[in-house]
Structure 1
Amino acid sequence: MQADTSDRPRRPEMALRHRARARWLAASWPNPARLLTPLARVGPRLTVAFLSVALLLPLIGLVAVNEQYRASLHAAQIEAENVAEQVAHTVAQPAEPGRPVLYQQPAQLQRYVSGVQRDDGRDLEIVGLDRRILADALPDDQGRLFTLDGGGEVAATMRDGKPRSFLEISPDFPDGIEVMAVPLRTAHDSIVGAVLLEYTPLHRELLAAGGVTRQVIVAASLTGMAAALMLGYLLSRDLVRDLRGLTRTAHLLAAGDDAARARVGSRGELGELAAAFNDMARRIAAQKATLTEQAVRDPLTGLHNRRAFTQRLDETLARSRRSGAPMALLMLDLDHFKDVNDRYGHPAGDQALRTVAALLARELRAVDVAARLGGEEFGVLLPGSDQDEAVLVAERLRLAIARCPIVCASVTLTVTTSIGVVSYPRHARTADELSRLADEALYLAKRGGRDRVCGPSGPDQGRSGQR
């Protein structure tokens, strides 16, 4: 008997759920590369760098202030230790075995301590091994038990002979006083007590003297931070602005704006980069113009080629449609040109083509367009000319070509031409139709005996060479 498994999830469904959950986690988890993308740009990186420097300067200042403060404390302790050692050396007279002189002459010791306090303002206290006060700046305390050694520093000094500095707090001095304890040794290096020197005034004096230095350090740190922030802002602003200008210029050049040039305010490396960039842009523009010219020019005659002529035909026809002005198209073909090549050679044929091209450029207006369409065939666009005007121009060109001598080496020859003439809007309204009718008119001129001008319907549409 099979168990009922209808309530159990199927394995494919569980796999789909796991994959969906994994995709959700991957989509919701932040992409580190995306988060770090802004730092790949110069502006944010400079900002982070200068902010780091600006924050580092106060930190360095705080460390310097702390070190200077500790140096002042250490200097005060060293000075107090030296004074206390000098006092200890003075009062530690050679003693008889078992009983130092300072125990035998307490009155003299008290007078010495009182004199030091009176002359130098130093508060001294001498404590014996039994923790009794042998001499004090206050005579009334002499002979009393020393009870302010709560931290055990004095006892430790008399035990191991190491000087110690500590803060003594008493009801009379709730804020505490700085005390230096040094061991009192005999000539035999026996510790017989301790000299306690209050150096609070010295401590405060050195801290006050170092306070000016600390203030200067803090002020210098804050000034450096402000200068770093300002310098970072100015450099980031100028650098990013110039880099964005270069990027914008590069995009303009890539979009085909050959006149775009980079302008930067920096005179350093960015200025040199901009100058080199602009020089490169000028060279590219010049090369592009040369290549463009080569792409639209016939290399033999220097006239427009068929591709450029077709484009100019479309443009001229579009302008005529917008303005309502007429335009004309001429198709020229040199007569018996193959015979010229066969009889005089291809150099003579090339010279004939160059001579005809130069004549067309000389006879036509600046707005007219002449092109070599291939072989010995030429095309001419006459913007603003109707059929009658175009026929007159074609007749003038026919006569000029027939009368123009062609000199090649020691040979001088002449050629004639047949011309087909059509116009917009009289004969056609599209470029393809104009080209087709012009070819037909040229064919009629060839069939009619060559060296003549014909329209789409024959010589009656224009003025032939016999008129």
Structure 2
Amino acid sequence: MASLSLALCVLCAVTVALLLVHGHLDGDGHDLRLLAWGKGVQAAGWLGFGLATAASDVMPPFRFLLLVGLGFEALAIVRVRTGRPSKLLPVLAGVVTLHVLLAVAVAGRPFEVRAFVQSMAAAVLFLPGGVLLLTTRNVASRRLHGATGGAYLALAAFTFLRGGYLLARHEGADIPAVPHMEMVGLLLLQALAFIGCVWFVVVLRERYEAHIHRLATTDALTGLHNRRHFLSVVEPALALAARKGTPVGVIIFDVDHFKRVNDTHGHPMGDAVLRCIGAALPALVRGYDATCRFGGEEFAAVLPDADGAVTDLVGERIRQGMERAGLEAAEQGRGVPFTVSVGAACRVPRGPQDLDGMLAEADAALYEAKHGGRNAYRRHGV
């Protein structure tokens, strides 16, 4: 048992290192740092268990460390799975304060009462994380999520039953003794520690892969898809439209007098204009339309199942929405007023090979909008 506890201490410590390194790479690593705190505190608890097992069978300080660490861990799981923001220090302070207050409240009470309160607190901490993990869907490691969630729920059920059993014994209930209960609890803790470390490493791998995919498919300045990802998504959409015989709309727009913005206000202000477009564009198209920063100050959108009327509606909405976004940014001191010129093409494609032709048609319409006075929308052939 001592060697297993020491091995878990080392495993938790290695997990802490991985969490901290990935937290720095990820940029938004509050949840990972919270996991690192949890695993670090657990490592201290397992170290205590490993060193003291030979000396004593009762080690409340080390069990306390394990419960505090698991509390951090459970809160971090809620953060990882729900995406809800959390502030690190208040969460840490809240978990530690809760455990300290409970420890003070039951100080001097019989062992059974202390064990009951401790068990109830632990069960409450384990339950949300276990339910979230067990009900996780649409992830590559769904089975591992389920196993980890099952371990959390098993430990929550055990601690709840243990607390009730000890309290009933304290109250004088005629309940037969259950041998090796504390040993079973320790084994469950060890199993959860091991499975939890494996789960966290897998989560780190998934997040790292998602981070790499995001870097490869997203324009860093605007947050929109880049041209390469846009083309990889649009070509299958054109192939599907060709088979179904449905029209597709293609829209290209760029910022009017963008060079003048850079020359007059500086490149940082030009970047602010592009970021403003990236923030506003998703709300101006339909949820299943593909958008991207096509290059420089030029942006594109492809509208599946869109006839001429729908394409005109979306194109004009983009023009008006960008003008409004520029005015709002200027009023808030985040940018300068700007407008865009929009060109579009719409027809039933013959297949993915028609993409270049439709982009050229939309670009020709954009040229007409520019020469028609800018801040305008034109559709090819209309």
Q: More strand by proportion, 1 or 2? A: 1
TM value normalised by structure 2: 0.47
Computing the radius of gyration over CA atoms, which structure comes out larger, 1 or 2?
Answer: 1
TM value normalised by structure 1: 0.39
Q: More helix by proportion, 1 or 2? A: 2
